[in-house]
Copies of this chain bind each other. A is one copy, B any other.
Amino acid sequence: MITGRLLGVGVGPGDPELLTLKALRCLQAVPVVAYVSARGQPSTARQISAPHLQPGQREINIALPMHPSPELADAAYDEGASRIGAELERGRDVAVLCEGDPLLYGSFNQLLKRLAPFYPTEIVPGITSIAAAAAAARRPLAIRTDTLSVLPATLPMEALRARLGQTNAAAILKVGRHLDKVRQVLAALNLLDRAIYVEQVSTAGQRVMPLVDMKEVSAPYFSLILIPPGPDR
């Protein structure tokens, strides 16, 4: 018996038109879709994919507890991987719906680790929130010899400061409640005036503005800060 394939499918940052033709073909063809959500919350990846899903597709929802310990998160991914594995064993392809790109900070990395050693695996890359944010802001991500640093706002202040101090362009993800810390670091590095704040990119709730004009003390989880290359480049 031939097993099904594990498909990690990037569905982009929010706009259902930012799926690729390949992702669309996968979503329409598979008998089973899977997605991760916070327990009790809808899955953003499933919401993005909804216009493209087919009647009769089986769905696997991997529900993570809120603020899980590493052990609880591991247990939820183990259980989700086991449910996906059961479908793969029956010869059914399973498409894991992934916001943005499956391999850039995605929970798909957890499923890849658990399942790719045992099942044929294909990954369909997705539009990242970073590329979509730069597009919305109409600003370069990197030019010529720039280095673009992609890093999470969850890093400790000193690590943020060290990494942002050595780059000439950056994208800071998962801003959320770390907004004030990031502001302080950017101010210390004289980067505040260049920073652009982008919230819920490519959705109806999109906001794009200079960070200095963003007055709130906290931001939603789906927000990021771009530091475009300096104006002299």
Contact = CB atoms under 8 A, between A and B. Distances in A.
A106 to B, nearest CB: 8
A36 interface: no
A83 interface: no
Contact of A17 (B22, B143, B145): B22
Interface string A13-41: 00111111110110000000000000000
Nearest to A233: B109
A103 B123 contact: no
Nearest to A170: B147
A25 B17 contact: yes
Nearest to A113: B140
> Copies of this chain, how many?
2
A166 B162 contact: yes
Interface SS, A side: mixed
Taking residues whose C-beta sits less than 8 angstroms from the other chain, chain A's interface range is 35 or more
A112 B143 CA distance: 12
A116 interface: yes
B152 A149 contact: no
A18 B143 contact: no
B148 A155 contact: no
B138 A112 contact: yes
B150 A150 contact: yes
A186 interface: no
B109 A140 contact: yes
Contact of A127 (B16, B125, B135, B159): B125
Nearest to A166: B166
